[in-house]
Amino acid sequence: MKSTRDILESELQIAVEPRNFSSPDANEKSREARLNKLRERRAKAVTSNSEASARPNIGGDSRPRLVRESTRSPEPIIDPRFDNRSFDYRGSEGKVKPLPNRQGRIEARPDQRPENRPDNRTTELRTRKKTPNRPIPIKSPAKSLGWQALRLAIAGVGLSVIAGTALSFWQNQQLSRAKASVPEVSAKEEANKSTQELVPLSLKTEATTLVSKIKELAAKEKDLSMQMMMVDLDSGAYVQIGANQVIAAASTIKTPLLVAFFQDVDAGKIKLDEQLEITDDVKVGEAGDFQFLPTGTKISALETATQMIIISDNTATNMIIKRLGGNAAVNQRFKSWGLNNVVVNNKLPDLEGTNTISTQDMVTLLAMLDKGKLLEPRSRDRFMDIMRRPVTNTLLPKGIGEEARIIHKTGDIRSAVGDAGIVDMPNGKRYAIAVMVKRPDNDQRANELIRQISRATYDYFLSGGKLPANNAPAISPDSPNATSSNNSSTSNNPTNSSTNSTSPSNGATSVIENIQLPLPNANPNASPSPSASPITP
């Protein structure tokens, strides 16, 4: 006897047989016949199941069995595999499985619809779904490598842009910090630049004859302390007597200040026509005419630097130091040139002698300028022109011939006096010389000693390295220098020193070093000198 499971499987097999009820060949009678036959088979299956449930449980299974009442109308048994909630419409082969109709009967769907059906779009979709899978194209290795290279290139460009932006931001930050400390950075830059241009002093042969003569002259004045340095700019012959000793600079320190001024002009930090203001912190007396101008008066930078040299104006000097950044900035500049003994400690006039130099440092500076170092040619020409025009020519210029030329700057305070410059002789010889003398309280013997040393040096080079037997003056008695030399005792009288100067408002005189000169007029608001440019109040 067949079991209930076998009967159900046979019925389901019959039910899922592919039958096309919608086919035009099928008629209503054949359909009803099949359905009736199916109902009979199901009824038999139910009856068999009821009889099986009434039999005793031989296997010892104590679980109660549910027996369907025979009075209840038979209902179609639907296999769980065909339940709508969990039915899988596609088999393992990917084909569409039959679905139950509204009456619970399962009808098989044809694999293909007739071509004469109006739903052609559905047919196309199904046909398209059943098309075999297209072969996946194999990419070329060269093409893949090209794409990878392109991606890497794009990534590299992106990283470069990011790095460039970060670098630009960092540079802007550095510029901002640099602007916040302009004086310090400028001093360091000038130090580095000047160090590259530093040329050591070329000393080859000592001029022993001249050294002996100069020591003989200095020995006559026991209470004077002299130090000097001289070097032939062509041959390297030199004289050196206490040249490394530090001594009060007085106004000779204005020479390196003028060099620093023109360095900043070359660097574009200072314009020659920019206006510098006379303020209370720079306004001083003793020497120069700017002290008599009203506070707030504005003067061009070039005119200020010029008056610092030609009339040794102390107010103008303080204005230049302030414009260069102060004492610390200029001292750093001097050290960068190798001038360790040139130091500005106080503003001018510095009557106590706290500002210092050494004769070796002054000669080294002049030799570097002569070789075209430190300054550009245009600024060097201006420097030389200004240094030819000092009004005070009572020291080194008194010992040279009329046809010789000299650029120099003197310095004169009560405790020390000196002069430093370059002498260009008519025979083509050129030498740099600096002489400083410590003296007791404005003693004029120191001034005369400097003139004698200048004369002996000039005679030595004029005679080809020899000195005349009687050391006669090489200058003509009729020359203007000779006349000035004969009157030097009058012009350099201690009673006319800078400490006893007369104000222009009282006697129409101007103080230059320790000499009083007549002013063009007694009006204190007039220009400092005939060569001065208009002053803007």
Q: What is the 3-state secondary structure (H, E, C) of 205-262?
A: CECHHHHHHHHHHHHCCCCCEEEEEEEECCCCCEEEECCCCCEECHHHHHHHHHHHHH
Over pLDDT 90: what percentage of the chain? 47
Find out whether 224 and 438 touch, Cβ atoms under 8 Å.
yes
pLDDT of 436 above 50: yes
- Alpha-helical regions (H) of 55-119: none
Could you give the count of Cα atoms lying within 13 Å of 318 in the half-sphere of its Cβ? 22
| CA 309 and chain centroid, separation | 36
Closest CA to 76 of 50, 101, 56: 101
CA–CA dist 531, 389 (Å, integer): 11
Q: What is the mean pLDDT of residues 101-121?
A: 52
Tell me the Cα Rg of the chain.
58
HSE (CB half, 13 Å, CA atoms) of 284?
21
pLDDT at 188 over 70: no
Q: Is the pLDDT of residue 394 over 90?
A: yes
pTM (2 d.p.) = 0.57
Q: What does the pLDDT read at residue 490?
A: 34
Average the pLDDT over 470-479 and give the result: 44
- The answer, yes or no, to whether residue 88 has pLDDT greater than 60, is no
175 SS3 class: helix
Average of per-residue pLDDT values in the chain: 75
* Per-residue pLDDT tens over the stretch 438-467: 999 999 999 999 999 999 999 999 988 888
Closest listed residue to residue 363, CA positions, set 228, 457, 254: 228
Confidence of residue 146 (pLDDT cuts 50, 70, 90): confident
